């Protein structure tokens, strides 16, 4: 159990520290219900690291992660400019900006309640501060891709409850539930015990 939780925690740190490479286009619902093979499971957890490994030495340094983040940021900015520039004239007019802002505002309102709920939940438990600490710890060290692959295989083996070589949606949900319960237990353990009254 501890090994599974440790492996899942490593993957969450990698996801925070290294921007994810865009996956192949697939509807989110279809992706969520599809079974995942071990090869695909490992590949998904190392693809961002491999993209950041500029010199191909199997190690991702802090400098390579920084370069990858800057590259992804630039690509996002270029993609946003292209999306805003609806008439493709190389300039963003006030009308184009206003139309995009209105569309994004509608999408934010549609998804806003769930996002606000998640934000309140995370803020209540200090997850943001802990996440920043974990991110900084990852940023200060070199990541060995082979080690991450090995941890991914170990995690897959523990999550694959029926040993069929595939992770079903149910098995992935069970692993996430285990992780959530572990975090709740850790938060409870960190809470100070109520002071016992002192009898005179």
* 11-58 pLDDT tens trace: 444 444 444 444 444 566 666 778 999 999 999 999 999 999 999 999
Decide: helix, strand or coil at residue 109: helix
- CA distances to 16, 25, 184 from 31, in Å: 21, 10, 28
What residues form DSSP beta bridges with 37? Answer: 166
Which segment of 2-16, 73-87, 171-185 scores lowest on mean pLDDT?
2-16
- Tokens at residue 135, please? 């991110």
pLDDT at 137: 57
pLDDT at 185: 87
143: confidence class by pLDDT, cuts 50, 70, 90:
very high
pLDDT at 169: 92
pLDDT at 96: 83
pTM of the model: 0.56
Give mean pLDDT, residues 100-126: 59
197: confidence class by pLDDT, cuts 50, 70, 90:
low
Q: How much is the mean pLDDT over the chain?
A: 77
User: What share of the chain has pLDDT > 90, as a percent?
Assistant: 42
Q: What is the Cα–Cα distance from 19 to 16, expressed in whole angstroms?
A: 7
């Amino acid at each position: 159990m501890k090994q599974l939780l440790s492996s899942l925690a490593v993957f969450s740190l990698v996801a925070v520290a290294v921007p994810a490479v865009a996956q192949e286009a697939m509807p989110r619902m279809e992706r969520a219900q599809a079974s995942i093979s071990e090869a695909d499971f490992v590949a998904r957890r190392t693809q961002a690291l491999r993209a950041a490994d500029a010199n191909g030495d199997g190690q991702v340094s802090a400098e390579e992660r920084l370069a990858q983040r800057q590259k992804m940021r630039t690509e996002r900015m270029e993609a946003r400019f292209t999306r805003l520039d609806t008439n493709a004239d190389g300039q963003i007019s006030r009308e184009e900006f206003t139309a995009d802002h209105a569309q994004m505002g509608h999408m934010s309102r549609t998804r806003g309640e769930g996002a606000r709920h998640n934000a309140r939940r995370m803020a209540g438990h200090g997850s943001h501060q802990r996440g920043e600490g974990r991110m900084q710890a990852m940023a200060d060290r070199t990541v060995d891709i082979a080690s991450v692959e090995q941890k991914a295989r170990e995690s897959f083996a523990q999550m694959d409850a029926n040993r069929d070589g595939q992770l079903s949606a149910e098995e992935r949900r069970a692993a996430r539930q285990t992780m959530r319960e572990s975090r709740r237990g850790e938060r409870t353990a960190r809470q100070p015990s109520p002071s016992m009254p002192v009898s005179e």
